[in-house]
Amino acid sequence: MVNTESSESPALLATARQGDSEAFGELCLFYQARLIRQAMVLCENATAAEDLAQETFLAAWRSLARYNGKCLFFTWLCSILIHLHKRRVRANHGWWRWEPVTPGAGEENDPLLHLPDAIHSPDQELALSERAALLRQHLDRLSPKHREVIFLRFYVHESLEGISEALHCSVGTVKSRLYHGLERLRKMKGLDEILDGKEKYL
């Protein structure tokens, strides 16, 4: 797990939990850009992502007393983000879709790929971007319960224990969903090489 929590955030969080809206506002400013980036993975456009992030902060403020500190605060925010997005999708009678990415639009940095930091030829760059686009398109074919654990594990970089707390399920359930989600992806055409070695994250 990559811990990117600010050293100041625990103090701000403690103050916010005492009802200090200004402290919570500072927390929102600290996490806003990161949360919008995560929302972009789920939403169709930047405007929808920003709206979803703001709705997430509002919901977090209203239920702040329920945060128990057993997972990172940002992970807890992302669990709210996922819940609100799924509720929006159900209201629109649609499916939870990952935002499709056009090859060449930066998806070569997709955390699921863990591509090496190296200089590539134009042909190599094209191949990498095509692989990233292929992976993200196939993620849309997974069930919501499999997508959400992959989202929290590889995009939010949370531990298995943290995901367990955020989703209110056992670590064993998280491992099972992650394993079966990756297995389903591995069986999809063209993803064997991309997913090779991902078992170490189980």
The percentage of residues in the chain with a pLDDT greater than 90, rounded to a whole number, is 31
The CATH code of the domain at 9-100+140-201 is 1.10.1740.10
Annotate 154-186 with three-state secondary structure. Answer: HHCCCCHHHHHHHHCCCHHHHHHHHHHHHHHHH
Q: Where are the domains of the chain?
A: 9-100+140-201
- Give 93-113 pLDDT, tens digit per residue: 554 454 444 434 444 444 444
Report the chain's C-alpha Rg in angstroms: 17
Cα–Cα distance measured from residue 43 to residue 154, given in angstroms and rounded to the nearest whole number: 17
0.75 surpassed by pTM: no
What phi and psi, each to the nearest 5 degrees, are found at residue 24? -65, -35
Average pLDDT, the chain: 75
Cα–Cα distance measured from residue 53 to residue 47, given in angstroms and rounded to the nearest whole number: 10
- Give 24-55 pLDDT, tens digit per residue: 999 999 999 989 988 887 776 788 889 999 99
